[in-house]
Structure 1
Amino acid sequence: MAAYFAFQQPSSPGQEFIIELTDDARIQKARDILSGKEKNEVHVHGRIIKRQQPYNPKFSFHIDPMTINFFAMAIEVCDASMTYVEEHLDEAGGAFLPGGHWCPWDSRLVREVTP
């Protein structure tokens, strides 16, 4: 069963990005992050798909649920704000976000979302 979570970034004030998790271990990890039990690997990463999803209607892309995980530190080449990704979506997957891999360093889960 899927679960949905919202994350925010200080680099995109006032915006929320919704992710879908389908793996029980990742769902539990997200809940542990929200409860404060997980304090290290708290940032979201995964591969973007250039297609809108009903659970994340403000953006023209989403993160493939099968690739979502959480990290403490990552390489700079995959870091970008959600608004920057949206504005440069046509460039994503090339020199910008190689392979479509997105790891917003300042991402922080803020809540579980009910569909």
Structure 2
Amino acid sequence: MATATRFAFTQPSSPGTEFIIELTDDNTIAHARKILSGEEKNEVHVHGRIVKRTQPYNPKFSFHLDPSTIRFFSMAIEVCDANMVYVEDHLDEAGGAFLPGGHWCPWDSRLSREVK
């Protein structure tokens, strides 16, 4: 099993705000590093399943993404797209008609850095 590695992503729709994810899979960590280096140009957006619980590494939000569900994509269905601040503000609705199954795939998400 990989050493847990954290990355930050931003969304132009939430300027100045970062969301921190934790990756625990070697292949996913390698993929994230390829995105940051510019080697990966297609599957660059974050997708994962929401857990309605704060994590110490992402204290600005009342939710995080389950590390075992995080993947990267180039295109996804619209029903899982949302702004991080909107998700926070409507977290009680997430998992129903809003973000069915708790899947969140912000289309404008872009990894910004590896968190040391």
- TM-score scaled to structure 1, two decimals? 0.99
Aligned position for 2:36:
34
Match of 1:56 among 58, 68, 75: 58
CA shift, 1:67, in A, is 0.1
The aligned runs of 1:1-115 (5 Å cut-off) are 1-114=3-116
Letter aligned with residue 102 of structure 1: W
Hey, what's the Cα distance between the residues in 2 that align with 1:35 and 1:13? 22
When the two structures are aligned, how many residues end up with a matched partner? 114
Which consecutive segments of 4 or more residues in structure 1 shift more than 3 A?
none
Hey, what's the Cα distance between the residues in 1 that align with 2:18 and 2:31? 19
Structure 2: stretches of 5+ with no match in the other structure: none
Secondary structure of the 1:29 match is helix
Secondary structure of the 1:13 match is coil
- TM-score scaled to structure 2, two decimals? 0.98
CA shift, 1:74, in A, is 0.3
Root mean square deviation, CA, Å: 0.3
